[in-house]
Amino acid sequence: MKFQEYRNTGKLKMSSYLKIIDLFAGIGGTRLGFEKAGLDVIQCVFTSEWDKYSVQTYKANFGEEYIHGDITKIATKDIPNHDILLAGFPCQPFSQAGLKKGFSDTRGTLFFDIERIIKNKKPKAFLLENVKQLKGHDKGRTLEIILEHLQDIGYTNIQYKVLRARDFGLPQNRERIYIVGFLDAKINFKFPVPSYKKTKVGDILEQYIDEKYTISDRLWEGHQRRKRENKIKGKGFGYGIVNKESEYTNTISARYYKDGSEILIEQEGKNPRKVTPREAARLQGFPDDFKIPVSDTQAYRQFGNSVPVKVIEKIAEEMLKHLKKKKN
């Protein structure tokens, strides 16, 4: 079933839904994963996203009349009560490329806004997503502080795990940490077991490709030169090239629009090419009727910043098993 058709199948009354809020929403990948897992039992009652281009894509697909902007400027009292909080909070302070210092207090970080909302609204559950480096950041102290703050609020039932997109049927080597918490300490949540379905890059490739996605001679020479230089210096950094028979690609990032170096597609008799925006969407598990109303540059940023929908869907299925039972 197509995405838009699927979203029209919910039939419960509003009062019967488990209510979710979508923070740092981006283009809605986390919400989409939850809807695919249980559209008949969930209802999104609040969305926050500040980037105007992401809002454009979000509205094109979810039809929201109003999306709230910067969460740091929204009072807690203005956020509706909800059952599940979803947040793929920005990773810059925790990523390898970001700040190297840790923190002992959440103030001054975007996690603080998640904390204040959870503390005030006490949802039944939450799902947080971040880069895998969060687990080892500052020798594990950053994650420890986050968990301590959530436990102090009353969420003693918390689990976290690093999951790979390619273990769930998506041909991309994307690893992310997922943190799941329940207010009910008796809930015995377990992370989904990966399908380990064999993947192939050819499954996400489009048949007819515009020549504009083939990289120039100058760019291709630059990629090759940097890889040679890095190899001499003992560094493993350089472009990543795959073909239709490859099992998976590197992780697509928000900077992909710059030179496409992390994922290049081999082409016979000519320079390799970048993936198209639709192929980038497929790498993340977005269905083909998911609308892309923005420029290629913005599309690459959006899908690079998004989440692997299939992984979210499987986590959501496990969470909803417990929450639906409790609701009933």
Q: Angle, to 10 degrees, between the axis of helix 111-121 and the axis of helix 141-153? A: 20
Say if residue 268's pLDDT is above 50. yes
Say if residue 171's pLDDT is above 70. yes
Identify the residue with better confidence: 271 or 109: 271
Instruction: State pLDDT tens for residues 276-321.
Output: 999 999 999 999 999 999 999 999 999 999 999 999 999 999 999 9
Catalytic residue flag (residue 91): yes
Average pLDDT, the chain: 89
Average pLDDT over residues 215-222: 95
Give 242's strand partners: 265
Instruction: State pLDDT tens for residues 10-29.
Output: 544 445 789 999 999 999 99
Please tell me the predicted confidence (pLDDT) of residue 3: 59
Residue 248 falls in which region: left (phi positive, over 0), alpha (psi -120 to 50) or beta:
beta
Q: Which residue has the tokens 């380990």?
A: 196
Say if residue 55's pLDDT is above 70. yes
pTM of the predicted model over 0.75? yes
Say if residue 113's pLDDT is above 80. yes
Please tell me the predicted confidence (pLDDT) of residue 145: 87
Say if residue 99's pLDDT is above 50. no
The answer to whether the beta carbons of residues 15 and 24 sit under 8 Å apart is no
Task: Output b/e per residue, 246-268; b: 16+ Cβ within 10 A.
Answer: bebbbbbbeebbeebbbbbbeee
CA distances from 305 to 54, 89, 162, 264, 299 (A): 10, 10, 17, 18, 10
Please tell me the predicted confidence (pLDDT) of residue 236: 65
Structural domains in the chain?
Answer: 3-197+305-327 (3.40.50.150), 201-302 (3.90.120.10)
The answer to whether the beta carbons of residues 300 and 172 sit under 8 Å apart is no
Confidence of residue 95 (pLDDT cuts 50, 70, 90): very low
The answer to whether the beta carbons of residues 29 and 178 sit under 8 Å apart is no
Confidence of residue 94 (pLDDT cuts 50, 70, 90): very low
Q: Which of 296, 289, 292, 304 is nearest to 210 (CA)?
A: 296
Instruction: State pLDDT tens for residues 117-153.
Output: 999 999 999 999 998 988 887 788 888 888 999 999 9
CA distances from 113 to 90, 164, 177, 290, 307 (A): 12, 27, 19, 29, 20
Mean pLDDT is lowest, of 32-41, 63-72, 96-105, for 96-105
Say if residue 106's pLDDT is above 90. no
The answer to whether the beta carbons of residues 142 and 131 sit under 8 Å apart is no
Q: Which of 250, 248, 247 is nearest to 238 (CA)?
A: 250
Confidence of residue 5 (pLDDT cuts 50, 70, 90): low
Confidence of residue 232 (pLDDT cuts 50, 70, 90): confident
Say if residue 103's pLDDT is above 60. no
Confidence of residue 267 (pLDDT cuts 50, 70, 90): very high
Say if residue 92's pLDDT is above 80. no
Say if residue 190's pLDDT is above 50. yes
Q: Which of 91, 127, 205, 307 is catalytic?
A: 91
* Percentage of the chain lying above the pLDDT 90 cut: 74
Give 182's strand partners: 125, 157
Please tell me the predicted confidence (pLDDT) of residue 229: 86
Confidence of residue 108 (pLDDT cuts 50, 70, 90): low
Question: What's the rounded Cα separation, in Å, for the pair 304 and 306?
Answer: 6
